[in-house]
Structure 1
Amino acid sequence: MKKKRIQIFDTTLRDGEQVPGCQLNTSEKIKIARKLEKMGVDIIEAGFPISSPGDFNSVEKICKYIYKPIICSLSRAVKKDIEVAASALKYAKNPRIHTGIGTSKYHIKYKFNSTPKKIIEVAIEAVKYAKKFVEDVEFYAEDAGRTENNFLAKICEAVIKAGATVLNIPDTTGYCLPEEYAEKIKFLKKNVNSIDKVTISTHCHDDMGLSTANSIAGIINGAKQIECTINGIGERAGNTSLEEVVMIIKQHKKLNFYTKINTKLLYKTSKFVSECTGMFVQSNKAIVGANAFSHSSGIHQDGLIKKRETYEVIDPKDVGVNKSSILLTARSGRSALAYRYKKLGYSFNKSKLNIIYHKYLKYADKKKEIYDEDLKKILKNIK
């Protein structure tokens, strides 16, 4: 069976930048956009132009410097928003306007003080208006995760008729369980006329730690685009992590999907975005965290030394990390100690290694990690 391509829609520069304290200037945004282009991202959501003159300028400049990806500009379902979004995209080689409105009962009643009928009317008008400026129009049904499926299907069908080319089904609050989100996508595929003529997109937030699982559930059930950010940065608990979904797709061959992402650039891009935004990447972060390919437990180290795949499902080189790390701690065993000494040019018989190991444990109980200098000191202190 032929593999199905999943498009990667990166919103680091828009949704990712909404994290308090990580505002990027235009120069930084252009540099990040270039790295995303080099990595193979299909769509870059460059910003929300109506939000500020600076954001407008950033979107406009990115359009001048980026050639291959689609450049997407966000708007609300408001004519002025759409006009400004279109204006910011005037230099784009492949422009897309991303417009939409809240569709859950919480948004309709409390945010808009409106009715389902009026929300559909506004959605249709917004898509039709955006279509006057660009051919490629993506519609987002904000809080689709908590939107009743029959109404969601109704508004999706209406915007397809109005000209939408992409349907974004966001789990805005990160509320859905994977099976619920999967069922939502499946329901739309079954109940929306002309759904096969458009691209269904996932946009999942991580409020309950389920954004990656929900995004994968979405593509398994018919979505063809994943909206995500580098390092999973974004509003509140963040967005779907680009590096996670890309590597899941790469490693799980049975899913029968692929992306255009050059995964060997993931680690460098992660570090660059972290430096630009000031957003620290937690050490135990999947794929790009400092400890993602580090091992300190003796049992794990022994298995890794014998065969890397024993404790690693990803080759670190596939994400741009040179090699796995054996960290020496009080939990490390003799095989890891011998391995590290061998790297330093030392080799011992079993009896000598036992003596060294007992001395090593006394050092290790006093320090969080043992380094090469410590190993040399241990040898000097053994008579």
Structure 2
Amino acid sequence: MSGSAVAAGSVRIFDTTLRDGEQAPGAGLTAAEKLEVARQLARLKVDVIEAGFPAASPGDFEAVRRIAQETKGGIAIAALARCRDGDPQRAVEAIRVAERPHLHVFIATSDIHLKHKLRISRDEALAEAVRWVRYGREALGADAEIEFSAEDASRTDTDFLLQVYESVVAAGASTVNIPDTVGYAIPSEFSALVGRVVDLVGRDATVSVHCHNDLGLATANTLAAVQAGARQVEVTINGLGERAGNASLEEVVMGIRTRPTQFPELASGVQTEQITAASRLVSYLTGFAVQPNKAIVGGNAFAHESGIHQDGVIKNPLTYEIMTPQSVGLTGSQLTIGKLSGRRGLQGKLRELGHDVEGEALDTIYRQAIALADAKKDVTDADLLALVEQRASEVPASVELVGWSVTSSHGGNATGSVTLTVSGEDRSAEATGNGPVDALYSAVDQALHDRLGW
């Protein structure tokens, strides 16, 4: 097999955030922004960065070329091209300077695409696939990675699909990719398809998968494919991509890492502590917020609000966390306070904020915090600090207001009367003033004058 074979026990992580991820409506990036993301992907230590689609625009060509020129450390730089005259040549030109060039050519193979989109026959599609794989191998040499994707593979006639893969491997493809382009597959059928491709060409080429999330199964299908023998996974940061997105890099990588008995003797080389930084950078540059309940990188992924959960996590984080927050680049878990929180959770949160509160004081603040949670949606750290400080500042009142009354008349004149308790002694006073407020304050002054010397 030409190209770079995947080492035994490894899964090659092919990140397509800068190509398929950027195809999400509204997620376009400038060349400088793509370069910034590529640098973070290099820190994350993905195996392949698919930098773009050079034939799409001069700007994308330049972005791919710059990323190919700058990225070192054994990371391959891929460029996508249709099996159509002009596209592969442009892609080769953009990545030729890369330390490890990776040409990725594709053509649709499903009858619905051949008939309605390309308007060509199966034989014509097969001929184009073979032609441009062979061109890529000749243009980039024996050491380059030449990948072929059969677009809409999961809806392609299986016998024809296998014929295409066998033919492109014979023409020089070192990786064959099985895209679930419209997110149509379910894990059981997708793993069976992957298994057949592995059996057919797995000795001569790396089998790859590229799953979309239209049914919410992109990660499940990808992991099922790995179990069936796929050794390259095409993924994006935050699951970014066309329509409902792609398989999420963080979910696939942490799935393999967290369940070693399901993926025996398999691992990726990803530096998982860089996952959160990558997620936040991509979110910031694209303007796509990460949903709070997103696995691994969502704001609530390591947050606990229920009292039962908080109690368990305080005693042993493994009760409710299957990975450590530090393993994905966070400093720790979060205890959030809401109406379902318990005393231990509140006490733990207050300790995080620098206050060790126990006994009656904790009971009082707990009642106040739960009442506040019922009244407003979020109880913030500032709210909790205010409750603590309010209790700390409580001192016996030396002056208490017992009662007051005020009358006003035309022209602004008013009479106010107050009754106060001053150090346990009731004192009353009456005064006039320019309006009701002035009259009441004057009455207070009179009631306190002898005691306080005003």
TM-score computed with the length of structure 1 as normaliser:
0.95
Alpha-carbon offset, residue 61 of structure 1: 0.8
Q: 2:182: which partner in 1?
A: 173
Q: 1:83 aligns with which of 80, 89, 93?
A: 89
Kept in 2: contact 1:29–1:58 (CA 8 A): yes
Q: What residue in structure 1 maps to residue 168 of structure 2?
A: 159
Give the alignment of 1:273-292 within 5 angstroms. Answer: 273-292=282-301
* CA distance in 2 between partners of 1:198 and 1:376 (Å): 60
Describe the SS at the equivalent of 1:197.
coil
- Is the Cα–Cα contact under 8 Å of residues 39 and 261 in structure 1 kept in the other structure? yes
Matched, 1:248 2:258: no
Structure number with the higher helix fraction is 1
Q: CA deviation at 1:3?
A: 6.9
1:67-106 to structure 2, matched below 5 A, reads 67=72, 68-106=74-112
Query: Pairwise mapping of residues 363-382 of structure 1 onto structure 2 (< 5 A)?
Result: 363-379=372-388, 380=390
Letter in 1 for 2:163: K
Secondary structure at the counterpart of residue 365 of structure 1:
helix
CA distance in 2, matches of 1:62, 1:189: 32
Task: Pick from 325, 331, 347 the counterpart of residue 316 of structure 1.
Answer: 325
Following superposition, the deviation at residue 346 of structure 1 comes to: 2.6
- Confirm or deny: 8 A CA contact 1:211 1:240 kept in the other structure: yes
Q: Note the C-alpha offset of 1:90.
A: 2.5
- CA offsets per residue over residues 262-302 of structure 1, 9 Å max, x none? 00000011101111111111111111111111111111111
For residues 124-145 of structure 1, the C-alpha deviation after alignment (integer angstroms, 9 at most, x for no partner) is 1111112221242100000001
Partner of 2:357: 347
Matches of 2:268 and 2:314, distance apart in 1:
31
Q: Choose from 328, 339, 350 the match for 2:337.
A: 328
The offset of 1:362, in angstroms, is 1.4
Contact 2:68 2:97 in 1 (8 A): yes
CA contact under 8 A between 1:170 and 1:202: conserved in structure 2?
Answer: yes
**Letter of the 1:25 counterpart:** T
Residues 209-248 of structure 1 aligned to structure 2 (within 5 Å): 209-248=216-255
Q: 2: CA distance between counterparts of 1:39 and 1:372?
A: 32
Residue 371 of structure 1, CA deviation: 2.9
Alpha-carbon separation, structure 1, partners of 2:35 and 2:43: 12
Offset of 1:77 from its aligned partner? 0.4
Measured against aligned partners, the alpha-carbon deviations of 1:32-71 in whole angstroms (never above 9, x if no partner) come to: 1111112111111111111100011111111111112111
Contact kept in structure 1, 2:198 and 2:230, CA below 8 Å: no
**Structure-2 change in CA distance of 1:156 and 1:66 (3 Å):** same
Closer, same or farther: CA 49–308 of 1 in aligned 2, 3 Å? same
Report if the CA contact (8 A) 2:105-2:147 is conserved. yes
Deviation at 1:197, TM superposition (A): 1.2
Residues 197 and 207 of structure 2 are in contact (CA less than 8 Å); yes or no, is this contact kept in structure 1?
no
What are the Cα deviations for residues 334-363 of structure 1, in whole angstroms up to 9, with x where unaligned? 1111222334323322x5533432232211
- 1:267-306 alignment runs, 5 A limit: 267-306=276-315
Which ranges in structure 2 are unaligned for 5 or more consecutive residues? 1-6, 396-454
**Percentage identity across paired residues of the two chains:** 42
> RCO greater where, 1 or 2, for CA within 8 Å and sep 6 or more?
1
CA distance in 2, matches of 1:146, 1:104: 6
Asked if structure 2 preserves the Cα contact closer than 8 Å seen for 1:143 and 1:172, the reply is yes
Give the Å deviation of 1:188: 1.6
Match of 1:107, SS state, is: helix
**Structure 2: distance between partners of 1:377 and 1:273:** 36
Match of 1:182 in 2: 191
Query: Is this contact kept in 2: 1:295–1:301, CA < 8 A?
Result: yes
- The 5-angstrom pairing of residues 7-156 of structure 1 reads 7-67=12-72, 68-135=74-141, 136-156=145-165
Question: Post-superposition shift, 1:84?
Answer: 0.8
Residue type matched to 1:348 in 2?
E
Q: Residues 164-194 of structure 1, C-alpha deviation per residue, up to 9 Å, x if partnerless?
A: 010010000000000011000112223x2x4
* Residues 208, 230 of structure 2: 8 Å contact kept: yes
Q: Radius of gyration: which is bigger?
A: 2
CA RMSD of aligned residues (A): 1.6
Q: How high is the TM-score relative to the length of structure 2?
A: 0.81
Q: Distance in 1 between matches of 2:280 and 2:381?
A: 26
Task: Give, in whole Å, the separation in 1 of the partners of 2:42 and 2:182.
Answer: 29
CA contact (8 A) 1:79 1:129 kept: no
Out of 41-50 and 109-118, give the one that drifted further. 109-118
Residues 360 and 89 (structure 1), Cα distance of their counterparts in 2 relative to 1, 3 Å cut: closer
Which residue type is aligned with residue 152 of structure 1?
Answer: L
SS in 1 for 2:140: coil
Distance 1:373 1:52 in 2: 49
Q: What amino acid is the match of 2:312?
A: G
Query: Structure 2: how far apart are the matches of 1:24 and 1:353?
Result: 50
Using the alignment, how far apart are the partners of 1:77 and 1:48 within structure 2?
13
For the Cα contact (< 8 Å) 2:96–2:140, is it kept in 1?
A: no
* Equivalent residue letter for 2:86: K
Deviation at 1:374, TM superposition (A): 2.4
